[in-house]
Amino acid sequence: MVVFGSLISLSGLLILLLRTASLGGLSPAVVGWVMIPLGLVFAVLGVLRNRRKRAQQGPGPVGNPIQRAKALPRLFKAWRGGRYPELPRSRVALWAVALVYLVSPIDLVPELLPVIGVTDDAGVVVWLLSSLSLASGSYLRWEKDHRDPGRGIESP
Position 12 pLDDT exceeds 80: yes
Question: What's the pLDDT score for residue 148?
Answer: 47
Can you give the residue ranges of every domain in the chain?
Answer: 1-18+26-56, 65-110+118-147
Q: How far is CA 148 from CA 56, 78, 135, 145, 152, in A?
A: 27, 13, 18, 8, 8
Of 14-28, 93-107, 125-139, the range with the lowest mean pLDDT is 14-28
Question: What's the pLDDT score for residue 156?
Answer: 42
Q: Please state the separation of Cα 2 from the chain's center in Å.
A: 9
Position 120 pLDDT exceeds 60: yes
> Which is nearest to 70 in space by CA: 137, 10, 148?
137
Question: What's the pLDDT score for residue 155?
Answer: 45
Confidence of residue 51 (pLDDT cuts 50, 70, 90): confident
Higher pLDDT, 25 or 109: 25
Query: Is the torsion defined by CA of 108, 41, 48, 136 positive or negative?
Result: positive
Q: How far is CA 101 from CA 86, 115, 128, in A?
A: 25, 18, 11
Higher pLDDT, 143 or 155: 143
Over residues 110-120, mean pLDDT: 68
Write out pLDDT tens, residues 84-107: 988 999 999 999 999 998 888 777
The CA-to-CA distance between both ends of the chain, in Å, stands at: 34
What is the percentage of the chain residues whose pLDDT exceeds 90? 24
Question: What's the pLDDT score for residue 50?
Answer: 79
Position 35 pLDDT exceeds 80: yes
Measured CA to CA, the distance from residue 12 to residue 41 in angstroms comes to 13
Question: What's the pLDDT score for residue 146?
Answer: 80
